Amino acid sequence: MFYRSLLLPDLRESLESNDRASLHEFCEALHAAVLAEILDELTGEEIWQVLSATGPERQAEIFSFLDKARQVSLVPVVPHRDLSRLIEEMPADERVDFLEQLDDDEVERILPLIAQAERADIRKLLSYPEGSAGSIMTTEYAWLPENITVDEAFGRLHEQAPDSETIYYIYIVDDGRRLDGMVTLRQLIQSRRSAKLADVMRHDVISVRVDDDVEHVAAEVARYDFLAIPVVDNQNRLVGIVTHDDAIDIFRKEAEEDALMQAGVVPLEDDYLATPVAVLVRKRVVWLAFLMVAAFVTARILEGYQQVAGVLTWMGWFQPLVLASGGNAGSQSATLIIRELALNESRQAHRMMLFWREVRVAALQGLLMMIIAFAGSIMLVDLQSAVVVCITVFLVVLMGTSTGAALPMLFSKLGMDPALMSNPLIAALSDTLGVIIYFTVAITLIGVAVPAV
């Protein structure tokens, strides 16, 4: 945040005058993660103008920290030959994640330009099913045979270091590449230089299988406080490692998916802001529609009691339905907005954009729900009453969504934790406003004297 406002004006100046020397200096100056955040403010063409001022190795480092949507948007901008050099330099797991975002055609255009060895590795990693250890592991691990000395090990690690994701855990493999044990670099530092690895290594290595679920992999890394966990195939051959930073990413993604599922939203594949409004509606309206069907069951049961006890009019039958529609839409919206605010420090413009997206989602969802509500209620009541129910549903969904989006933003603006705006609280507020909407619509359309039964 701080760096961005400080460096962006200078960077724009260097871009305008196309000052290669100062662009090069910029690329070397800061941590790649910080540079990627600053670059995020630029157009694709500008990003490449900056990156092309440095070598492919540093390009790959910075590129790896850009978010996925941004990486993909650079593909048409970067010349194919430069792109393939950059991809060669990326960590094995990061580049596969990137290539998975592209169309198959595009991948086939880029792959032939990549060096043979790297290409085989990419094809292998691309072949593991999504959600498996294989799909997130890297093949760039440090390994040694057991029959060398600690001193020889240091020599070999010196060579392996540039191409390994980590050299702090070193895996000991036999001639058939089967995982036999491991040593940590710390153990090597603490050992006599003349000791054999066979005497220093530990044999009972905890590993995961290449087809294990990523969530299991992350849980194992966390359970043992590992820096990395080895991934083996069904013959115990070492095929890759998964590192601690991947485990953090898995936990964060899992928590986000759980939160969305709990609020009745089908988990999103992309960032909230990168997801088109139509997709957002699809991921949400499935649940809302399903829940409305359940609410019709409730309405039908209430109608049954009406005949027995004469205590409720048709407006009473549909009251749970209209209130639940508002509450459910509100919970979905609040959950999405709370997570979005947690991920991105909110600026005023950002908040306005979020709110505007939610209003559009609400309008679309409201229309769809209105159609379902009309179709359901016309089977239980007359046309006039069904019109009251479906117009109310539209307005209540609109109100629920806006409330669900606006209140966490208000909390965040007031410096409070937006997560305090819990789903039951949104539902309670939406109940109160919902009955007002319901009766206002009924009185407006049918008049004051609605017959009591």
Q: How far is the CB of 1 from a second copy (least distance, A)?
A: 12
Nearest Cα neighbor of 326 from 277, 362, 375 is 362
CA pair distance 393, 369, nearest whole angstrom:
7
Q: How far is the CB of 302 from a second copy (least distance, A)?
A: 6
Q: How far is the CB of 145 from a second copy (least distance, A)?
A: 18
- 3-state secondary structure labels for all residues of 131-143: CEHHHHCECCEEE
Nearer to a second copy, 114 or 299 (CB): 299
Q: Is 262 within 8 Å of 335 (Cβ atoms)?
A: yes
Nearer to a second copy, 286 or 352 (CB): 286
Q: Is 209 within 8 Å of 167 (Cβ atoms)?
A: no
CA pair distance 119, 441, nearest whole angstrom:
64
Nearer to a second copy, 52 or 434 (CB): 434
Q: How far is the CB of 323 from a second copy (least distance, A)?
A: 6
CA pair distance 366, 398, nearest whole angstrom:
6
Q: How many Å from the N-terminal Cα to the C-terminal Cα in the chain? A: 62
Report long-range pairs for 96-100 (Cβ below 8 Å, ≥24 apart).
96/122, 96/125, 96/126, 96/135, 97/68, 97/136, 98/68, 98/71, 98/72, 99/126, 100/126
Q: Is 77 within 8 Å of 48 (Cβ atoms)?
A: yes
Q: How far is the CB of 187 from a second copy (least distance, A)?
A: 9
Q: How far is the CB of 86 from a second copy (least distance, A)?
A: 19
Nearer to a second copy, 149 or 328 (CB): 328
Nearer to a second copy, 43 or 344 (CB): 344
- What are the CA-CA distances from residue 83 to residues 29, 50, 66, 111, 227 (Å)? 23, 14, 15, 10, 31
Q: How far is the CB of 290 from a second copy (least distance, A)?
A: 8
